[in-house]
Amino acid sequence: MNRNQWLGFGAAAFGAGFIAILALRRSHRSGQPQERPETLAVKTREEENDKLIHSLVVLTAGTAYLTMASGRGRHHASDGHEVFWVRYVDWIITTPLLLTGLGLTALGTPFRRWGLLLSLLFTDAYMILTGYLADEEPRDSPMKWTWYGISSGAMAGVYYMLWGPLLEEARKTGPEAEDLYRRNLTFLSAVWAGYPVNWLVGPEGLNLIDEDTSTGIYTGLDITAKILFGLYSLSNTQEKSARELTAGRVPEHELRPSPAAHVERWDRGSPTEGDAEGGRARGRNRRA
């Protein structure tokens, strides 16, 4: 397949993937307790967040692929190689969304470690922007490899935060949250590692493979990291929600639709041993 065929295939795949994610519902699986009928009509907050995030990721990527397949979203750099700038626009929207989903899985609420989550998202955006700057430079320019090195360093920082502080927070959240976070993170980390390698050997970098091959690899990586990961993550979340609903462990304000409005408030308390938030105790205030 040539480059344009790969881009057209990607656009079609993301259209199908968008429908698949919207259509994915909880279903009874062998080995899992049977859900009560009244719980099948509701979703948990985690399910709602996951579905919205992955739907937006796939919709954004599909728009980018349709743009590229139509011959737009690109220009020539000073040395003649094509820069697909719309691909970077796609990445700077979709990768923070994916990281937000992982962060919510680990933390439960972004307000628990909002500084850590914002640092993660900023580092990710910085990685994408410096990667774009590297792509704009000609191959014989030292600045290309300077920017590539900086972008790779930022990616290492993203991996550190995901596998270090956020994994530790997932452990504090509970064993189910840690298991879900670790499985999703392992999947996404493995796929994301392919992007800088393809960039390095492709037309943007050393030009060891041609444009058709590089585009095919990018298409496969994007489909795996966005469609397949989205279905995998959402399915994992739905299984977790089904277990919690069956066991009656989901409070009313975590249901969607919720029977009542809910306000979450954090009150400063006296520091106590084992308080991971340094003396903060969560107070919940429900309003009808």
111 falls within a domain: yes
The secondary structure of the chain, three-state, reads CCHHHHHHHHHHHHHHHHHHHHHCCCCCCCCCCCCCHHHCCCEEHHHHHHHHHHHHHHHHHHHHHHHHHCCCCCEECCCCCEECHHHHHHHHHHHHHHHHHHHHHHHCCCCCCHHHHHHHHHHHHHHHHHHHHHHHCCCCCHHHHHHHHHHHHHHHHHHHHHHCHHHHHHHHHCHHHHHHHHHHHHHHHHHHCHHHHHHHHCCCCCCCCCHHHHHHHHHHHHHHHHHHHHHHHHHHHHHHHHHHHHCCCCCHHHEECCCCEEEEEEEECCCCCCCCCCCEEEEEEEEC
How many residues comprise the chain? Answer: 288
258 falls within a domain: no
CA-to-CA dists, residue 113 to 166, 169, 237, angstroms = 9, 9, 21
Report d(CA 185, CA 202) in Å as an integer. 26
Convert the pLDDT of each residue in 163-211 to its tens digit. Answer: 999 999 999 999 999 999 999 999 999 999 999 999 999 999 999 999 9
Tens digit of each residue's pLDDT, the chain (288 residues): 999 999 999 999 999 999 999 998 866 543 455 544 445 556 677 888 899 999 999 999 999 999 999 999 999 988 888 999 999 999 999 999 999 999 999 998 777 888 999 999 999 999 999 999 999 999 889 999 999 999 999 999 999 999 999 999 999 999 999 999 999 999 999 999 999 999 999 999 999 999 999 999 999 999 999 999 999 999 998 887 777 666 665 555 555 555 555 555 555 544 333 343 333 334 434 333
Q: Calculate the average pLDDT of the chain.
A: 84
Check which CATH number belongs to the domain holding 158 and give it: 1.20.1070.10
pTM: 0.83
263 falls within a domain: no
Q: Are 49 and 12 in contact (CB under 8 A)?
A: no
Predicted confidence at residue 151, as pLDDT, reads 98
149 falls within a domain: yes
The parent domain of residue 157 ranges over 3-26+47-251
14 falls within a domain: yes
228 falls within a domain: yes
158 falls within a domain: yes
64 falls within a domain: yes
Q: Say how many domains are in the chain.
A: 1
